[in-house]
Structure 1
């Protein structure tokens, strides 16, 4: 077993609302990672840069699901200093190669040596983000073995909801559970990190039991569950509805 697959299972957060309070609580409660969802949410590089700044030195890894695979977009988010870029709608290893070129400094890539938080404002050009493939398309599913063999592949995430939709669009009768397991087995079996969303914090272990080492809890969904529980408690025998 490789060092990567032997790594302790991780539970992190994914959010489109990285408030100062939430970021401050991460280190306090021992959450080791957060993925900021900037895909179709309106969040931009400024919010990601602020999260990186607030969490610098805390030990909390900051990732971002970027809006697109365009080189300028990847470069802009890489310059915030985030630790990981989650690449959406990836279909081929050629797209992974292009993302690598856009986020690596010469001679490996084509990234300009800009003065930015990632370069410690022009003093150190060493920090580059991990590139994680988001497996949410049929093409990525079918190409998973090619991805895991590729020398630039660094791990991935699974997007079950979008994968379901893409399977339906392609008229595929493969169940999403079978597709998800196929991805986990291929990626983890090759010694790479692989993660997926958990239905709730209480069920994060369900993700790990499938062989994935990273479980992501949607912060907004978890807050909604907590508030619903509080509301239902208030409607009980001793609450307003029971009076």
Structure 2
């Protein structure tokens, strides 16, 4: 993510998370200058081909494109890296060693094990110097406890806070109070900010994106389908009124 040269920290950015990246939505994102789009391929119907199409549509637009991958297998990581996405968001990590294994999987030799395939990521075989950044989705207690180790890793590009799954993992350990989640979230944000790393969190809505920045994040992500449902609900209320 871009850094502000005046303060040496990532610039604030607002973007969307979506599992339905239609052509019109992507065109509007580019037209409006949205900071980023996260394509959510974890536990959704979003396919590898749809992610590739979305990345190609946004290429050159200035919109940073991330993909939340469905799993951490090397084949999955390479397939989504080959879309040409700027960033892969890795779910359910627990230890830095898992991040470093993913890093090796998406790097070409001699740094890694990735094959030199003809794909959008390689300029269709013309440039094998480009690799996606790897972001850790902090949604497990183990990952939260290792946040400073993650931030210190050369494989670490940025972090995201996953409050829903993190709350579930905390509850499984008997830590189900709201303050437990708040404490865990602040520990991630504070550690990554201290390390000069980018950290993103979900925002309740586009209108309330500033709440993410108030918590210390530099990226505020809005779930597009939830935002659209809320907007349509407002229209329905006007109609009924």
Question: TM class by shorter-chain length?
Answer: over 0.9
SS of structure 2 residue aligned to 1:26: helix
Whether 1:220 aligns to 2:232 is no
What is the correspondence of 1:119-134 to structure 2 with a 5 Å cutoff? 119-134=122-137
Q: Tell me the C-alpha RMSD between the 2 structures.
A: 1.5
Residue 159 of structure 1 is matched in structure 2 by 162
CA distance in 2, matches of 1:82, 1:132: 12
Residue from 178, 183, 188 that aligns with 2:188: 183
> How far did residue 2 of structure 1 move?
8.0
Distance between the aligned counterparts of 1:99 and 1:5, measured in 2?
A: 27
With the length of structure 1 as denominator, give the TM-score of the two structures: 0.94
Secondary structure class of the residue paired with 1:175: helix
1:99-118 matches, within 5 Å, as 99-118=102-121
- Checking the alignment, whether the CA contact within 8 Å between 2:82 and 2:120 is kept in structure 1 is yes
Asked if 1:229 corresponds to 2:237, the answer is no
Deviation string for 1:166-189 (max 9, x for gaps)?
Answer: 000112356211111110000111
The equivalent of 2:86 in structure 1 is 83
Change (3 A) 1:219 1:2: closer
Residues 2, 191 of structure 1: 8 Å contact kept:
no
Instruction: Decide which moves more: 130-139 or 146-155.
Output: 146-155
Task: Structure 2: state its 5+ residue gaps.
Answer: none
- Aligned partners of 1:5 and 1:193 also within 8 Å: no
- Give the aligned length: 236
Q: Which runs of 5+ in 1 are unaligned?
A: 237-243
Taking the aligned partners of 1:145 and 1:180, their CA distance within structure 2 comes to 13
Instruction: Quote how far apart the aligned CAs of 1:5 are.
Output: 5.3
CA distance in 1, matches of 2:8, 2:138: 19
Q: Contact (CA 8 Å) 2:106, 2:114: kept in 1 or not?
A: yes
| Higher deviation after alignment, 146-155 or 130-139 | 146-155
The answer to whether the 8 Å contact 1:32/1:61 transfers is yes
Cα displacement (A) at 1:147: 1.1
Contact 2:67 2:85 in 1 (8 A): yes
Normalised by the size of structure 2, how large is the TM-score? 0.94
Among 143, 147, 150, the residue aligned to 2:146: 143
Q: CA deviation at 1:110?
A: 0.7
Spell out structure 1 runs of 4+ moving beyond 6 A.
none
Separation in structure 1 between the aligned mates of residue 8 and residue 180 of structure 2, nearest angstrom = 26
Secondary structure, counterpart of 2:66 in structure 1: strand
- Residues 69-112 of structure 1, C-alpha deviations (whole Å, 9 max, x = no match): 10000000000100000000010001001000000011111110
Which structure has the bigger radius of gyration? 1
Deviation at 1:6, TM superposition (A): 2.8
